[in-house]
Amino acid sequence: MTETTSTARRRVLRGLALASGVAVLSGCASALPSSNAAPGRFVRREVTANGRRYAYQVFVPSAALPRPLPVVLFLHGSGERGDDGEKQTQAGLGPYVRAHAADFPALVVFPQSPEGESWEGDTATMALATLDAATAEFDGDRSRTSLTGMSRGGYGTWSLALREPTRFAALVPVCGGITPPGSRPDLDNLYVASTRSAADPFAEAARHLRDIPSWIFHGALDDVVPPEQSRRMHAALRDAGADVRYTEFPDANHNSWDAAYRTEALWPWLFAQRRR
Q: How many Å from the N-terminal Cα to the C-terminal Cα in the chain? A: 66
pLDDT, tens digit, 9 for 90 and up, residues 55-93: 999 999 999 999 999 999 999 999 999 999 999 999 999
Alpha helix (H) residue ranges in 52-185? 93-99, 121-137, 152-163
User: CB count, 10 Å around CB of 48?
Assistant: 11
* Domain ranges (residues) in the chain: 1-32, 39-272
DSSP symbols for 20-88: HHHHHHHHHHTTS--TTSPPPEEEEEEEEETTEEEEEEEEE--TTS-SSEEEEEEE--GGG-SSSSSGG
Spatial separation of the C-alpha atoms in residues 184 and 162, rounded to whole Å: 26
- Determine the pLDDT at residue 245: 98
Least confident range from 14-23, 97-106, 224-233: namely: 14-23
Q: Which amino acid is at 179?
A: T
Which is it for the CA torsion 112, 117, 122, 128, positive or negative? positive
Spatial separation of the C-alpha atoms in residues 120 and 164, rounded to whole Å: 12
Q: Looking at the DSSP assignment, which residues form a beta bridge with residue 248?
A: 218
Confidence band, pLDDT 50/70/90 cuts, at residue 276: confident
Nearest CA to 99 among 261, 255, 253?
261
Q: Count Cα atoms within 13 angstroms, Cβ side, for 26.
A: 6
- Determine the pLDDT at residue 12: 37
CA-to-CA dists, residue 18 to 8, 155, 230, angstroms: 15, 57, 55
In CATH terms, is domain 39-272 a member of 3.40.50.11710? no
Spatial separation of the C-alpha atoms in residues 269 and 215, rounded to whole Å: 9
- Determine the pLDDT at residue 35: 54
pLDDT, tens digit, 9 for 90 and up, residues 17-38: 333 333 332 332 333 345 567 8
Residue 218 has pLDDT above 60, yes or no: yes
Q: What mean pLDDT is predicted for residues 171-178?
A: 98
pLDDT, tens digit, 9 for 90 and up, residues 244-255: 999 999 999 999
